[in-house]
Chain A
């Protein structure tokens, strides 16, 4: 009975999702490319991959007035990146089904320049936990010319000492700030490693910023 209900729901949900994707793309991307993009999004859904990054990429291309062909190529490239990311997560020990946010995190880390072995190491060190912040923390350090293995060691040391989420970004920020103050990268890493887990957090948003803050007109887009 349960299986029958699930199949029924799937049969109803898939066309509805497809319809909503077409609806979001209409008027935002060249009309001729919509069927191709739609078919790529359907393929991603059939492979249990997140579809929102593909829709976002298409809308982004349309907003930037890119030609339909280039939008389709970009969506195809993103579909490949999603597949690679899921394969990497499975290789690193994650069990299916893999959440869309984890796949998106790995895609983002790879696009920011982290090599696959570094990502696999971080994924394996944080089983059954969100890795987005750890991956971004290492990517931040690598973007500032820290050695990728040293950067990974530093962030995984913070993980071992109980730091999670945004606090891992505080670690990478602190190391980058030490370099900006004139220390060598090795000195900065040594210093921050000794400070873990008491790396200072960033100041909270000021009252003035909270008062000024407003929501985007028309609301926010769905997360991947």
Chain B
């Protein structure tokens, strides 16, 4: 750092006039005066109250942002339980794990079995199974095509034994089940499908 010229110092302190300075020092002194004037004209520093009010006036963060902030911010969780309730809860969970699950689905008799029908009829509005097991009554065993891929299905509880049946498409078209594998003449010029139901509990 260069030592300051004593005349320059005296001029800044107002002890001598600016005229006493060399032109170079005079320019420097005028520049410093300009800086001082600019600083004097600047607004006063904001107080605490002003800063708080500015923060309050800022727009609130959006709901997803607040949600995200809540999710990523650690929270303390306090769970108060009586020991008796804790033991009861533990016993309940143990019982659920140990006890056999209750019977789900239809209860099957000793002489009953489950027949599964699957048939592909793309574009059909309805498919039903009609046979000796339901007195040839259309509509009592409808097949379902839940995913609309043209494959119709039904699982039915039937008496064990031999049954004859046909599929009825759209309520009027009678067709033999292509997947039955067993067929007999129906004495009316067509063929019935034959189904052998095995008892489930044999």
Contacts and interface: CB of A to CB of B under 8 A. Distances in A.
Contacts of B27: none
Contacts of A160: none
Give the residue among B186, B187, B202 with the most A Cβ atoms within 10 A: B187
Interface residues of B, number: 41
Given A63-B136, A166-B202, A221-B133, A210 B114 contact: yes
Given A59-B135, A63-B130, A215-B106, A220 B158 contact: yes
A56 interface: yes
A211 B182 contact: no
B20 interface: no
B114 A223 contact: no
Interface size class of A (residues with CB under 8 A): 35 or more
Contact of B157 (A111, A143, A213): A213
Interface stretch (A7-15, A70-78, A149-157, A192-200): A70-78
Contacts of A78: 187
A215 B114 CA distance: 9
A112 B184 contact: yes
Nearest to B186: A60
A217 B174 contact: no
Contact of A204 (B137, B186, B200): B200
B10 interface: no
A82 to B, nearest CB: 13
Nearest to A169: B196
Contacts of A133: 196
Given A64-B188, A66-B188, A221-B135, A112 B194 contact: yes
7 nearest A-B pairs in the assembled complex, by CB-CB distance:
A63-B136, A74-B187, A213-B155, A166-B198, A217-B140, A221-B135, A111-B184
Interface of B: 104-106, 114, 116, 130, 132-141, 154-159, 161-162, 164, 174, 181-188, 190, 192, 194, 196, 198, 200, 202
Interface of A: 24, 56-57, 59-64, 66, 70, 73-74, 77-78, 101, 104-105, 108, 111-112, 132-133, 136, 139-140, 143, 165-166, 169, 204-205, 209-218, 220-221, 223
